[in-house]
Amino acid sequence: MIQSVSPSVSDRLPTLIQSQRQFFATGATKDVEFRIAQLKALRQAIQAHKDAILEALKADLHKSVFEAYAAEIGVIRDIDHALKHIRAWVKPKSVPVGLMQAPGRARIQAEPLGSVLIIGPWNYPIQLMISPLVGAIAAGNCVVLKPSELAPRSSEVIADIIRKTFEPHYIAVVEGGIETSQAVLAQKFDHIFFTGGTAIGKIVMAAAAQTLTPVTLELGGKSPCIVDADIDVEMTARRIAWGKFMNAGQSCIAPDYLLVQRRIKPLLLQAIEAAIYEFYGDDPAQTEDYGRIISDRHTQRLTSLLSSGRILLGGQTNLGDRYIAPTVMDQVPPDSPIMQDEIFGPILPVLEYDELEEAIAFVNDRPKPLALYIFSRNKDIQQRVLNATSSGGACVNDTFLQVGVVDLPFGGVGDSGIGSYHGKASFDTFSHFKSILYKPFWLDFKMRYAPYKDKIETLKKFIR
């Protein structure tokens, strides 16, 4: 197990960050060829440590090999995308100067921020550490990584990969618990990228405010799933069950609750039950394809939510194994405990509505979610929901897959987060876009210089 930070680790943090600042000052990280070489080295290291990654994810989350490849080792796709596009990303962009600035030329030049901090979560401990790292490398930064102590084996693997691949004055890993996080946040960085819960996000933002450090906060929230009556019932059920119960429900964009049109509800619930049986069999505890809750504390929290309504399916728990069965709940009061905060586990509350406006109003009465899902064949209904609600992202007639489109920026809005990443958005997040105007010496309009007597009318005509 990873222990809380020792005084020696806390003491060496300023020295570590100073060494990164000194290395950044050499300009080495600004060279695009250097960045490309580091991305290739990272890709090779992940490939070389695939077995260790799979073992760590199995130990921490009982994550299946399929899910580990799809959602964790698959982060290699982010590296490949960056390698394909990085030369275009770093190229300065010309913009018109307008008549008043002629003759001249203007451009926007992306430059790295400096030394950045990336704090990762435990639910996808490899992907959500490496994916922002790809953006930070592509943008030309030095990086300090802080993995989650709640996934200790994964944290060890990340540390091993980084230490074998990069010098600490360029990219370093700091492991530990709450005291480590506090010590890291007390340092001055040029950007902080945090993925985790809203409560900790507020702590990160408060700490960053002390040093005026900009932040990207990838949080979460109660992502609603609105189901219209005009659907393919079996396909809808499979896609909802897959998105909800993957990683035992511990996904920031998992459907948090269903808002189902009353007429279709009985058929949909039957189909969800059939889908769960198809995925995990009679006893999901026995299949290698179903995960476990990250800790005893989280298991106890989720177990306490099972009294919030009537259990239609599942509900079995085993604290010693950190197991909670895929669970569907009905007759859930809107003010019940399970409807207050993000569930982040394999429990699916089902609420119903008659008119679409009821469902829209229900969503809008709550903090803006990270994701919103709408199932309907009716394009007018799809658009009504998308236009009338606000969420970090949305997906129509499926769940979760919007996160896999690398050119779609991923991030929250309001309580669900600040900023975005993935693809070009990751490069942008870790870059400063410097505006530059170039002027020649061969022409100089003297009208702008004092004295201004008799020039105001000419200026007015020019502006018009």
Alpha-carbon distances of 409 from 31, 162, 205, 230, rounded to whole Å = 25, 26, 21, 30
Say how many C-beta atoms besides its own lie within 10 A of residue 389's C-beta. Answer: 19
If you search the block for the tokens 């829209």, which residue do you land on? Answer: 360
Please answer whether residues 135 and 427 qualify as being in contact, where contact means their C-beta atoms are separated by less than 8 angstroms.
yes
Please answer whether residues 148 and 121 qualify as being in contact, where contact means their C-beta atoms are separated by less than 8 angstroms.
yes
- From the list 198, 79, 93, the residue with the least C-alpha distance to 133 is 79
Alpha-carbon distances of 272 from 16, 209, 264, 277, rounded to whole Å = 51, 45, 12, 9
End-to-end C-alpha distance for the chain, whole angstroms: 70
Please answer whether residues 347 and 306 qualify as being in contact, where contact means their C-beta atoms are separated by less than 8 angstroms.
yes
- From the list 139, 136, 161, 157, the residue with the least C-alpha distance to 148 is 157
* Three-state secondary-structure class, residue 317: strand
Contacts of 238 (CB under 8 A, 6+ apart): 271, 275, 278
Annotated catalytic residues are 218, 252
Please answer whether residues 4 and 176 qualify as being in contact, where contact means their C-beta atoms are separated by less than 8 angstroms.
yes
Beta bridge partners of 324: 317
Q: How far, in Å, CA of 184 to CA of 191, rounded?
A: 12
State the DSSP string of 20-37: HHHHHHTTGGG-HHHHHH
Structure tokens at 343: 């569930």
If you search the block for the tokens 């586990």, which residue do you land on? Answer: 345
If you search the block for the tokens 């070009």, which residue do you land on? Answer: 424
The conformational region for residue 422 under phi > 0 = left, psi -120 to 50 = alpha, else beta, is: left
State the DSSP string of 193-237: EEES-HHHHHHHHHHHHHTT--EEEE-----EEEE-SSS-HHHHH
Q: Burial letters for 322-348: b for 16+ Cβ neighbours within 10 Å, e otherwise?
A: bbbbbbbbbebeeeeebbebbbbbbbb
DSSP 8-state symbol, 330: E
